[in-house]
Structure 1
Amino acid sequence: MSAVDTSCIMDYDDWSPNYGNLPMEIILHIFRFLNHSDLQAAGATCSRWREALFVGEFNRNILVHFVKVCLSDRLAPAKFFLKCQRPYRTFCLEEVTFGQAQELLTQIGKTATEIIFDNADMGDKQFYAFMRQLTHLESLTVTRCSPLFMSGSFLDGSGDFAGSFANIRHLSLKHNQYLSDAILLRLTSLIKGIETLDMSGCHIAYHNAIHRRFYPNDSLAAHPSESILTFKFLARVANLHRNYLKELNLSHTMISGPALQSLTSVENTDGGLLLQRLRLTGCRQLNTSGVKSFLLTQPNLVLLDLADTLCVNDDCVAAIVDSLPKLKTLNVAGCGGITNAGAKLLGNLKHLQSLNISRCDGITTDGLTQGIARTNNSVLKYLYMSHLIVCEESIKCIAHNCPELRILNVGHCVNGVTDTSVQCIIEHLRWLRELSLEDCFRVTDAALTGINISKLEMKNSTNPSTGLLENFHPTNPSSLHERENLRSSISPQSMKISLRSKAEEEIVRDANRKRALFAVYELNQIDDHMIDGFSIQQLKGLRSLNLKGCNKITDVSLKYGLKFIELQRLYLSNCQQITLLGMETLVLNCPSIEEIDLSDCYNINDKTIQLLTAKLSRLRALHISGCSQLTDHSLDAILVNCKCLQTLSIYRCRRMYTDIEDRLADLSTLRHLNMDNAGSLDNVEFFRLKKRLDY
């Protein structure tokens, strides 16, 4: 027998494609279709794909976020960051304290173009030391850092770090107390041209009487006050940068109508501001005439946010439509003065891509069907319309005429969101990325699976031996003869009076429906003609699904409906029919889930949490408040399996609080813990717990 030359035999592994050796151009092209989480997972596959992740266009979108840590060159995470050779551009320092961090500041300063200080514990000297290193800074955000400005001497004698402010184009000082005219002047005078100015939530004095008190001789320019921040001085700063300023945010301030109008006619100017983006959320002192007059002077606006501004009515909407032909984003949520007359005008905004009309009580079905959904609208991509009193026809009309929608929020539209309207959404809106059906309690499994319940009942009536669907949707006798036969067939022993409440009867009916549908599925009794609808699986790119309060949704939808590779956020709170049975399939069909809400799902037990934490490797936020069956075993599963969990909500889980400090100290990634007795921990103990939680 002759010997075989094994050197010529090809190994079976050589037949499979080697994706690690793909050309870099192809890898980069693939990466352009991935979100941040998928990019990080792809970059961990091999060194070549990791190298592709360092390319500038992907690196620019990465935020380095330090939360609730002490930044010191000798402590984690700073000492690990110092070993990183990858250049990052955006940094956020949230609720951090500073130790000896000179090397860290130098490392950040080499590449940083954007820095965010959010409630950071630092004084002016630490801020100056940071700014000396940030020589390439283009965006500066200082949020909730009131102690930094408390002394009033902030930037008084800026010295050798003044050049760090020169190239800043985006400045945000939102939600800060103790800002003054003098501080604002010192800061803005160091900047050549401000394109974005955010002063939302700041204490700004708008009343003329207050202004006269601090400037009795109108000495605004000569001696800016170190005690108060006035609107006239803010307007003066905005005027100085009017050739650059494109975005202004004065949300949650006391700005009035005359003050807003004054921005367009500040003294010593040629024409006032000409903005592209304006945010005035929650400005309750505005009036209709002031808003209308200002909008007439802003033809270049592409974004307008007037949410929760009480003066906005149909006249304002008419001014928006007539004066802002380039508008792409409009937020009028909570503006109760808008009626159908104003909503109908919104259909005339030809470039509108994002619209938020949530909580506009005056808008009903006619305002939608004769407005944005009057004709085919292929421009609108984001629609938020929660808490509206609309009917089923309006939802169907939107689904038919707005086929390019990426985000649709119809939460709390209890009359309009039914199985039929949800089926219409699934049929026509195939590009949806986010769908919210929160508290739409009329939605059942049929809406998400496409099964025709009535045809199942008809088949069951022809095969009574199965006995699957007799527990719900009973068929009423149609003739007098049938009623007589029904009465004669009921014996006195079988006549029982139910003592359940209406809510309890509904729960029992839902449970019976769930068991019947499961039995039909498992026995393969569903034919093609019974599935005459559309399964939600057809929304292939869905990333967020909100089913909070949809208490008719059961394990049937989880097992036979939800199958999304890209799904990242799933909200199922108050879905009482959800159990381990549905979760077993969900974790296999939706492996990319990062946030899941199972609050008040009382059938969730320890085995369910063990399954979720073991299978969902990307889990970052877990909400299980009110799940009364959970014990310390669930907490153990979270600690063992969750490697990147950042948020944990365990309100009303009264059996999970054994040695909580010692247990949670091992969960190094945890940043937000929501529980009932957090306030009972004294300050020293809670601070020590936070330290141990962080690193």
Structure 2
Amino acid sequence: MDLPYEVLVYIFKYLTKSDRKSASETCQSWYLAANDYCFQKHKVVTLYKVDLNDDVSPLQVYENSSMCYDNYLFSEVEISSKINNFWDRNGENIRSLTLQNCDIREKVFVHMLQKCTNLEVLNIQNCKELFMSGCLLEGKTDGLLSTTLNKLKCLSLSGNQYLTDALFSRFVNSAPDLEELNLSGCSLQFHLGLVKRFYPQGTNIFENPSESVLTFYFILQLLVTRANKIKRLLFSNTLIDGTALKSLSEIEHLKLQYLQVYSCDQLTNSGILSLTKLQTTLSELDIGLCTRVTDQSLVYICNNLINLESLNIQRCRAVTDLGIAELNKLSKLKVLNISQCELITKDGIEKGLCTEQNNILEELDVNSLNLDQTGLIMISERLPNLRLLDISYCFNAVTDSSIQVVFKNLVLLHTLKLSHCDKVSDAGLTGMGKIEEVNEHDGPIMSNYDDSIANNKIYLGSRAEEEIVRDAKRKHDVMKMCEKLTMDSYTGYSLARIKGLRELDISGCNRITDVSLTYAFSFKELDKLNLSRCQQITHEGIKHLVKNCPSIEHLNLIDCYNLKDEAVIEIVKGLHRLQQLELRGCNQLTDKTLEGVKSFCKKLKFLDVQGCRNISPELACTIGVLPTLHTVLISKPGPYINDGVKERSPKPTFLPALMRKLRLH
């Protein structure tokens, strides 16, 4: 019986984007339901490294499509007048337009804007040729463009070093209802001497904006005129300092909801004080990599920004437990990044986040913190509703015992990252390790399968050789236990408990072997998996991984040098959604790998085979014939030496256009 259209749409709302896409390929009714406007309005058409000027342009697909797409992203492409027909036909349907590192002429850009009459989001990133002349939109803002951008809500001009006050003014004057402004990575000037030079006293800055520099003074004056509408500002990677942030915060009627000043080294506590006192409506604040931020700033934030839901203080190295302890005042906090803050310990986290059970926090990044096992266990017990947890590089905290407590308590996780936590082994991931009570002053915990201390024999090999022997024995013992027990009878808690896992990063955990891939990996929704530098995995483990995790789209196997062609064949045959495959440094792979990719990968977009010395670079070049593939990373073809003379094999016959897909390293 066919389900009604409305019922199908309702069901598809519970599926991930990838699942909906696969479901849409089932039949016509499912295709229509999966492309209902409630889903369609969030889809982004991405055109990356393609030739739009060919006789058969990818844009023709969207020109002739019966469905209207609202959002377009052009990245590293040339946009010329040859595709003007696309803007003429589809421009009025476009709500969001992003240009990244694109080659585009001023005349073509103006024509594009004139046709996109309903734009709400415009993002022009690193398009230096467009701004270089300084004449962009000159004389257009009072004419044809005066009504074109009147619906624009978000304007991003990030990374454009040639942006000036005059150019900025032309964009903003055409967009009276702006709510978000992004000038991250621009050459923003704060020196008052420049202001006096380009704007002498009595000058009307709006009538004669500078065509030489982009000044914070001009932006500040413009924000004063738009204060009642601006809600979101981004000034990351600029020289904004405490004085500038204080001036920004004091703008009358300005009520910010989001501020990003990531990696702004000049920012000081005085600026944060003014911000928190005057912009109390902030719900999201990003001050990561601001090295001058201290505990004092955190005290201001926690006392004044009571509505804060997201806070990033990554690598604010002067922040200590005194500041983190204040976080308990932010009762609405959902997202927190305190990674790489070397002075934060378990005590600060306990006072700030874990004094009692916290059911509000959903995302926590504590990578590279100086935590121990008890700290990680405390986090897992007191923050039961975490959806994202990053504990990478927490060497002392992540062990076989503590990670099983995480698996026990945080079953709602969809993202888990424990990169380079090299104390974790198969025993921890499978649940075969022994969980013991972990006290703060306990020494190293021994798993129930490790009897190396009980063995009184003197080992005559090196320490490295002894560790290899121990790892082999661990793998053998855990494998035997896994074969005897079912999931329900495990002595501990397995990674497989986290049924909804979508992203997993265990890169650099070199004690992970095929045992974990066989008995701990069973995730129907897992789409991103990083196994790089897990050098003990082989074809046997990959076979089970592919069978039990069929939704993987991004797979990283860099430096897994025990993998052979058979493993890659299993991957490309079994993972039908695979879009990105990284095999760099897998030096046992041969040309059979590329043949398998060419035969079975129907959706692959990115392939990295650098350092695979047995793979022919010439054959790797020809793989560009795959229609979906846009990037192939290969090693440079080297000269071949015959009889003392360097020669090169004949160049492969393939279209020159395919070379744009290749990056030689």
Report the TM-score when normalising by structure 2.
0.91
* Corresponding residue for residue 442 of structure 2: none
Inter-CA distance 626–65: structure 2 relative to 1 (3 Å threshold) = same
Tell me by how many angstroms 1:471 deviates. Answer: 10
* Distance (Å, rounded) in 2 between the aligned partners of 1:453 and 1:298: 51
SS of the counterpart of 1:115?
strand
Matched, 1:170 2:154: yes
Unaligned runs of 5+ in 1: 1-17, 456-468, 478-482, 487-494
Q: 1:331 aligns with which of 308, 312, 316?
A: 312
Tell me by how many angstroms 1:54 deviates. Answer: 2.5
* Distance (Å, rounded) in 1 between the aligned partners of 2:546 and 2:608: 20
* Distance (Å, rounded) in 1 between the aligned partners of 2:659 and 2:343: 47
Q: 1:497 aligns with which of 449, 460, 463?
A: 460
Q: 2:490 aligns with which of 502, 517, 531?
A: 531
* Corresponding residue for residue 132 of structure 2: 150
SS of the counterpart of 2:533?
coil
Tell me by how many angstroms 1:688 deviates. Answer: 4.0
Q: Map of 1:499-648 to 2, 5 A cutoff? A: 501-522=462-483, 524=484, 526=485, 531-648=490-607
SS of the counterpart of 1:358?
coil
Q: 2:144 aligns with which of 160, 180, 204?
A: 160
- The 4+ residue runs of structure 1 with deviation greater than 6 A are 527-530, 678-682
Tell me by how many angstroms 1:121 deviates. Answer: 0.7
* Distance (Å, rounded) in 1 between the aligned partners of 2:259 and 2:448: 59
* Distance (Å, rounded) in 2 between the aligned partners of 1:213 and 1:604: 64
SS of the counterpart of 2:188?
coil
Tell me by how many angstroms 1:601 deviates. Answer: 1.1
SS of the counterpart of 2:240?
coil
* Distance (Å, rounded) in 1 between the aligned partners of 2:471 and 2:296: 47
Inter-CA distance 603–226: structure 2 relative to 1 (3 Å threshold) = same
* Corresponding residue for residue 398 of structure 1: 379
Tell me by how many angstroms 1:134 deviates. Answer: 0.5
Give yes or no for contact 1:666–1:693 (8 Å, CA) kept in 2: no
Tell me by how many angstroms 1:70 deviates. Answer: 2.4
* Corresponding residue for residue 200 of structure 2: 216
Unaligned runs of 5+ in 2: 437-446, 640-647
SS of the counterpart of 1:65?
strand
* Corresponding residue for residue 96 of structure 2: 114
Q: Which 10-residue stretch deviates more, 606-615 or 256-265?
A: 256-265
Matched, 1:655 2:639: no
Q: Map of 1:337-352 to 2, 5 A cutoff? A: 337-352=318-333
* Corresponding residue for residue 667 of structure 1: 626
* Distance (Å, rounded) in 2 between the aligned partners of 1:264 and 1:556: 56
* Corresponding residue for residue 230 of structure 2: 245
* Distance (Å, rounded) in 1 between the aligned partners of 2:223 and 2:621: 52
Deviations 1:550-570 (A, max 9, x none): 111111110011100000011
Give yes or no for contact 2:356–2:382 (8 Å, CA) kept in 1: yes
Inter-CA distance 30–693: structure 2 relative to 1 (3 Å threshold) = farther
* Distance (Å, rounded) in 2 between the aligned partners of 1:690 and 1:245: 44
Residue 116 of structure 1 aligns with an amino acid whose one-letter code is T
Residue 209 of structure 1 aligns with an amino acid whose one-letter code is G
Inter-CA distance 452–295: structure 2 relative to 1 (3 Å threshold) = closer
* Distance (Å, rounded) in 2 between the aligned partners of 1:207 and 1:232: 9
* Corresponding residue for residue 10 of structure 1: none
Inter-CA distance 679–114: structure 2 relative to 1 (3 Å threshold) = farther
Tell me by how many angstroms 1:653 deviates. Answer: 1.3
Give yes or no for contact 2:77–2:103 (8 Å, CA) kept in 1: yes
Matched, 1:229 2:211: no
Inter-CA distance 186–316: structure 2 relative to 1 (3 Å threshold) = same
Q: 1:262 aligns with which of 230, 236, 247?
A: 247
Tell me by how many angstroms 1:101 deviates. Answer: 1.1
SS of the counterpart of 2:148?
helix
Give yes or no for contact 2:74–2:100 (8 Å, CA) kept in 1: yes
Residue 173 of structure 2 aligns with an amino acid whose one-letter code is S
* Distance (Å, rounded) in 1 between the aligned partners of 2:620 and 2:395: 43
* Corresponding residue for residue 643 of structure 2: none
SS of the counterpart of 2:465?
helix
SS of the counterpart of 1:263?
helix
Inter-CA distance 297–170: structure 2 relative to 1 (3 Å threshold) = same
Give yes or no for contact 1:623–1:648 (8 Å, CA) kept in 2: yes
* Distance (Å, rounded) in 2 between the aligned partners of 1:528 and 1:662: 46
Q: Which 10-residue stretch deviates more, 92-101 or 616-625?
A: 92-101
Matched, 1:179 2:163: yes
* Distance (Å, rounded) in 2 between the aligned partners of 1:687 and 1:210: 49
Tell me by how many angstroms 1:261 deviates. Answer: 0.9
* Corresponding residue for residue 439 of structure 2: none
Residue 450 of structure 1 aligns with an amino acid whose one-letter code is G
SS of the counterpart of 1:325?
coil
SS of the counterpart of 1:420?
helix
Deviations 1:6-25 (A, max 9, x none): xxxxxxxxxxxx4xx11223
* Distance (Å, rounded) in 2 between the aligned partners of 1:603 and 1:294: 54
Inter-CA distance 679–162: structure 2 relative to 1 (3 Å threshold) = farther
Residue 276 of structure 1 aligns with an amino acid whose one-letter code is Q
* Distance (Å, rounded) in 2 between the aligned partners of 1:641 and 1:505: 42
Q: Map of 1:64-463 to 2, 5 A cutoff? A: 64-72=45-53, 74-99=55-80, 100-158=82-140, 159-217=143-201, 219=203, 220-265=205-250, 271=252, 273-452=254-433
Tell me by how many angstroms 1:451 deviates. Answer: 1.4
Residue 25 of structure 1 aligns with an amino acid whose one-letter code is E
Residue 238 of structure 1 aligns with an amino acid whose one-letter code is L
Report the TM-score when normalising by structure 1.
0.87
Residue 69 of structure 2 aligns with an amino acid whose one-letter code is Y
* Corresponding residue for residue 443 of structure 2: none
SS of the counterpart of 2:597?
helix
Q: 2:454 aligns with which of 471, 476, 484?
A: 476
Residue 507 of structure 1 aligns with an amino acid whose one-letter code is I
Inter-CA distance 572–496: structure 2 relative to 1 (3 Å threshold) = closer
Tell me by how many angstroms 1:470 deviates. Answer: 12
Identity value in percent: 35
Residue 37 of structure 1 aligns with an amino acid whose one-letter code is S
* Number of residue pairs matched by the alignment: 637
Give yes or no for contact 2:114–2:145 (8 Å, CA) kept in 1: yes
* Distance (Å, rounded) in 2 between the aligned partners of 1:660 and 1:98: 31
Give yes or no for contact 2:371–2:397 (8 Å, CA) kept in 1: yes
Inter-CA distance 443–355: structure 2 relative to 1 (3 Å threshold) = same
Deviations 1:555-592 (A, max 9, x none): 11100111000000111111111011111111010000
Give yes or no for contact 1:452–1:531 (8 Å, CA) kept in 2: no
Residue 93 of structure 2 aligns with an amino acid whose one-letter code is T
SS of the counterpart of 2:103?
coil
Give yes or no for contact 2:621–2:662 (8 Å, CA) kept in 1: no
Inter-CA distance 189–320: structure 2 relative to 1 (3 Å threshold) = same
Larger radius of gyration: 1
Give yes or no for contact 1:304–1:330 (8 Å, CA) kept in 2: yes
SS of the counterpart of 2:625?
coil
Tell me by how many angstroms 1:170 deviates. Answer: 0.6
Inter-CA distance 45–261: structure 2 relative to 1 (3 Å threshold) = same
* Distance (Å, rounded) in 2 between the aligned partners of 1:471 and 1:264: 60
Residue 476 of structure 1 aligns with an amino acid whose one-letter code is A
Give yes or no for contact 1:578–1:603 (8 Å, CA) kept in 2: yes
